[in-house]
Chain A
Amino acid sequence: MERHVLVVFPHPDDEAFGVAGTIISHTDAGTPVTYVCLTLGEMGRNMGKPIIANRETLPEIRKKELEEACRHLGIEDLRRFGMRDKTVEFADQDALVSQLFEVIQETDPSLIITFYPGYAVHPDHNATGAAVIQAVQRLPVEARPVVHAIAFSEGCEDILGPPDVINDVKHIAERKFKVIEAHASQTSGVIEVMKERFLEADETVEGYMLKERFWTFPVNSDKPEK
């Protein structure tokens, strides 16, 4: 059992598809989970199906969806960093790393879950993962938590190898779907298809939705053993 889990993602719903089951497993076990969400996904293209949002109302809608998702995840400590969607890689990196470092010091996590820098497709994902790794590397080697990183760029397994952590979350699939459904402005239309496939035991859903895959990031790569 982990002491404390820290989850860091840039957008509400980043925690839904690839990580929700893992987070639920931790909160079910009584492990406190802190979720740092950098933006409110203000620049999302999905406006709901049917359309329920516009560019200016989207942030408030997604904020409520994020809070609803956290209730399903059992997360009581949600921290929004107030950055803007799409701008994470351009923002003051030192300030972000410092802010993350403070949260790491305060919550003292035994495990951090974030994106694998360079292998997470969206520039915000890569910038978030990079900032988390830099924050972790401010700690002395012996004090660094384990980092489980999510990679999904084309061909990432050719370079990183297969994921070394695979969490089967089939037994809590229904609750994971609730988390995805909470992000209604982003997922309505998609979730129905996904649920059907799940009930039909479609291998795609089985593989990508119900087995959550992580790569343990080499956090000590900045100080290799001599």
Chain B
Amino acid sequence: MRPIDPQKLQETITNLAGKKLYIHLETTNGAYATHKDQSFFSAGAFLRNAQFSFIHGKVKGEGPYRVGLETDIGWLYAEGLTDWEIDENNRVLIAGHDHDGKLAIALQLSETPFPK
């Protein structure tokens, strides 16, 4: 992965508008967060291979970046995004890494399903 170039990511997202996509959306603070710090409230979620299609999408922020995708009947929102790549399977992988380089959020868009 490499640091997000917001213009290039914007172009990539614009080109995906209207397509039938599969998404992986995830936030995580790690399974040990509360174990290491009892006062920490651990919350996270992931959704893998939801079928998804959006009308238009934007990349915002100065870095870390935010992405918002508007659909016919709702929204997808992600923040804390720092790095991205288009992999060899033409999947758009966007991630947010924290100050220790650990993954905190992932937003991935693909025209083919991700492996289960």
Interface size band for B: 20 to 34
Interface pair B108/A56, CB less than 8 Å apart: yes
- Cβ-based interface call for A122 (8 A): yes
Closest-CB distance, B22 to chain A (whole angstroms): 12
In the assembled complex, the Cα of A59 lies from the Cα of B24 at a distance in Å of 15
Contact, CB under 8 Å: B1 / A51: yes
Chain B residue numbers with a CB within 8 Å of A47 are 97, 101-103
Q: How far is the CA of A83 from the CA of B93 in the complex (A)?
A: 22
B108 contact set on A, CB distance < 8 A: 55-56
Q: Contact: A56 with B101, CB < 8 Å?
A: no
Q: Which of B4-12, B13-21, B28-36, B55-63 contacts A (4 or more CB under 8 A)?
A: B28-36
Beta-carbon contact of B103 and A86 below 8 Å: no
Q: Is B39 an interface residue (CB 8 A)?
A: no
Q: Specify which chain A residues have a CB less than 8 angstroms from the CB of B38 in the assembled complex.
A: 154
Q: Is A118 an interface residue (CB 8 A)?
A: no
B40 within 8 A of A: no
In the complex, how many angstroms separate the beta carbon of A143 from the nearest chain B beta carbon?
A: 34
Count of chain A residues with a beta carbon within 8 Å of a chain B beta carbon: 22
What is the distance, in angstroms, from A116's C-beta to the closest C-beta of chain B? 15
Whether the pair A123, B31 counts as a contact (CB closer than 8 A) is yes
Q: Does B72 contact A (CB under 8 A)?
A: no
Chain B residues whose CB sits within 8 angstroms of the CB of A121 once the complex forms: 31-32, 35
Q: Do residues B103 and A45 form an inter-chain contact, with CB atoms below 8 A?
A: yes
For B116, the chain A residues whose CB sits under 8 A away are 84
A residues 53-93 touching B (CB-CB < 8 Å)? 54-57, 59, 84, 86
The residues of B with any CB-CB pair to A shorter than 8 Å are 1, 24, 26, 28, 30-32, 35, 38, 46, 83, 85, 87, 91, 93, 95, 97, 100-104, 106, 108, 114-116
The chain A residues found within 8 Å of chain B, CB to CB, are 43-51, 54-57, 59, 84, 86, 121-124, 153-154
